[in-house]
């Protein structure tokens, strides 16, 4: 076996003759992986034993980390090759082979039938309950290429088909410096799903690449500003982001545990820097597990994170010691939910049921209000 193997060459090999080893983290693997592959961490591979009669194909996100791992396996006497371009290359070719009008119709049908209660109805509920959409709105549906934003785009299309009132949609994709493979995956998925995207380019990845402290935070802030600016340029008065129910409850706990305050991710808010613009989050009631179920049911595969840091970044690895704060909170919620399934709803409802006469103080427009104010009255 050669030291490198292409996706096309891998497809030609008899399945029984090859073992595909995916060295990405478990979260990325769970979101999507090559058929019949196994998930083994780079640390586990160092001592793992593999069948000598099979060729070993090592796969990472984009073929960078896996190259060295394949070389070490060859040094141990295995017939091992690195998958050129990694999972991203495999995914791009798979999506390109799937495109058809029938596939798009099946995806749309799943939202109004199988996932009507768990996804579509909850989307409509958020729009109505929080008054996120009004006649005459022109909404920039912001698409990152991940499962959440792509689903949001399809849900907006379904809502528009019902035509209870007139509103316009722009499906906005910002390219902050994607690799050609990631850009191709986003465009291929949009074509497959019948989403007419508008793409504009920025150099955000270049701007934050050498930032040592918290580049992800800076990147997110810059992306938001560029999205607002482009949306306003296109005549939009709102931008829609794909944050879901799990994002909301994780944010509530993060603000308490890491920020020392009670704060939530709001379903809508006015932009402080772009007058007349609003941000809305119509996925507010939709559980992440249902989004994953929908994607798997429709055999859809999306990019998890298209940032160039994720090629080699250990802090993006939830299996490692340097887990992100959000990943730690996600795991905490999962552990608490095993004891009490109502935990997630209780966290969500906690910010709907704040009793101001039972707290020490609160802030309103920057002014602190204490329970002592008027206490003796």
Query: pLDDT category, 317, cuts 50, 70, 90?
Result: very low
- Whether residue 279 sits in one domain with residue 237: yes
Token reading at 137: 């709105």
**Boundary of a domain, candidates 59, 94, 129:** 94
- Whether residue 324 sits in one domain with residue 198: no
Is residue 376 assigned to a domain? no
CATH, residue 12: 3.40.250.10
Give 6-55 pLDDT, tens digit per residue. Answer: 999 998 899 899 999 999 998 889 888 998 999 999 999 989 999 999 99
CATH, residue 235: 3.40.50.620
Across 15-54, the runs of DSSP E, i.e. the strands, are: 18-22, 38-39
Is residue 120 assigned to a domain? yes
Q: In the beta sheet, which residues pair with residue 58?
A: 21, 82
Query: pLDDT category, 306, cuts 50, 70, 90?
Result: low
Mean pLDDT, the chain, whole residue set:
90
pLDDT of residue 310: 55
φ, ψ for residue 370, nearest 5 deg: -100, 155
**Boundary of a domain, candidates 77, 94, 111:** 94
Is residue 187 assigned to a domain? yes
- Whether residue 278 sits in one domain with residue 176: yes
DSSP conformation class of 299: T
Give the integer Cα–Cα distance in Å for 278 and 318.
33
Query: Coil, helix or strand for 21?
Result: strand
Range in 63-67, 171-175, 313-317 the model is least confident about: 313-317
pLDDT of residue 307: 63
- Whether residue 327 sits in one domain with residue 304: no
- Whether residue 79 sits in one domain with residue 192: no
pLDDT of residue 309: 56
The pLDDT of residue 180 is above 50: yes
Pick the closest to residue 169 from 129, 196, 187, 205 (CA basis).
196
267 close to 221: Cβ distance less than 8 angstroms: no
Give the integer Cα–Cα distance in Å for 375 and 324.
42
* CA dihedral sign of residues 222, 228, 231, 232: negative
pLDDT of residue 163: 78
Per-residue buried b or exposed e for 355-376, using 16+ beta carbons within 10 Å of the residue's own CB: eeeeeeeeeeeeeeeeeeeeee
Please tell me the total count of domains within the chain.
3
Give the integer Cα–Cα distance in Å for 297 and 291.
10
**Boundary of a domain, candidates 94, 122, 150:** 94
The pLDDT of residue 277 is above 50: yes
pLDDT of residue 315: 37
Give 325-359 pLDDT, tens digit per residue. Answer: 888 999 999 999 999 999 999 999 999 999 999 99
Which residue is listed with tokens 């961490």? 41
Query: pLDDT category, 77, cuts 50, 70, 90?
Result: very high
Residue that wins the pLDDT comparison between 374 and 361:
361
Tell me the C-alpha to C-alpha distance, in Å, between residue 10 and each of 37, 74, 132, 181, 326. 12, 18, 47, 18, 36
Tell me the C-alpha to C-alpha distance, in Å, between residue 347 and each of 81, 130, 256, 262, 329. 47, 19, 11, 11, 12
151 close to 107: Cβ distance less than 8 angstroms: no
- Whether residue 211 sits in one domain with residue 166: yes
- Whether residue 325 sits in one domain with residue 358: yes
The average pLDDT across 128-150 equals 97
Query: Structural domain of residue 72, as residue ranges?
Result: 4-94
Percent of the chain at pLDDT > 70 equals 93
Helices assigned H by DSSP within the chain: 7-12, 26-31, 42-45, 65-75, 86-98, 101-112, 121-129, 147-162, 180-192, 204-208, 215-233, 245-257, 288-297, 325-339, 343-350
10 close to 53: Cβ distance less than 8 angstroms: no
- Whether residue 104 sits in one domain with residue 230: yes
């Amino acid at each position: 076996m050669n030291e490198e193997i292409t996706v096309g060459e891998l497809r030609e090999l008899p399945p029984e003759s090859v073992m595909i080893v995916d060295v990405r983290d478990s979260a990325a693997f769970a979101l999507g992986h090559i058929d019949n592959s196994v998930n083994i961490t780079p640390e586990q591979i160092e001592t793992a034993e593999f069948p000598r009669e099979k060729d070993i194909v090592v796969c990472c996100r984009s073929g960078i980390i896996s190259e060295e791992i394949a070389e070490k396996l060859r040094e141990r006497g295995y017939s091992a090759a690195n998958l050129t371009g990694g999972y991203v290359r495999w995914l791009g070719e798979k999506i390109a082979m799937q495109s058809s009008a029938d596939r798009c119709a099946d995806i749309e049908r799943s939202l109004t039938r199988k996932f009507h209660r768990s996804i579509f109805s909850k989307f409509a509920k958020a729009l109505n309950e929080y008054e996120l959409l009004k006649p005459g709105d022109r909404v920039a549906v912001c698409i990152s290429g991940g499962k959440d934003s792509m689903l949001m785009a399809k849900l907006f299309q379904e809502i528009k088909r019902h035509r209870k009132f007139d509103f316009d949609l722009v499906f906005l994709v910002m390219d902050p410096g994607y690799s050609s493979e990631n850009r191709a995956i986003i465009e291929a998925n949009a074509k497959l799903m019948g989403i007419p995207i508008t793409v504009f380019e920025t150099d955000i990845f270049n701007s934050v690449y050498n930032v040592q402290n918290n580049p992800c935070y800076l990147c997110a802030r810059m992306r938001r500003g560029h999205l607002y600016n482009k949306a306003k340029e296109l005549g939009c008065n709102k931008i829609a982001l794909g944050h879901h129910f799990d994002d909301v409850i994780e944010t509530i706990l993060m603000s308490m545990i890491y920020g020392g305050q009670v704060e939530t991710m709001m379903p809508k808010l006015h932009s402080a820097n772009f007058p007349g613009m609003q941000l809305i989050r119509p996925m507010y009631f939709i559980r992440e597990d249902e989004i994953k179920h929908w994607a798997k049911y429709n055999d859809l595969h999306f990019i998890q994170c298209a940032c160039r840091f994720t090629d080699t970044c250990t802090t993006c690895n939830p299996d490692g010691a340097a887990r992100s704060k959000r990943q730690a909170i996600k795991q905490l919620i999962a552990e608490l939910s095993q004891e009490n399934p109502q935990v997630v709803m209780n966290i969500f409802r906690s910010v709907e049921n704040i009793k101001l006469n039972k707290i020490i103080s609160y802030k309103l427009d920057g002014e602190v209000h204490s329970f002592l104010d008027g206490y003796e009255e």
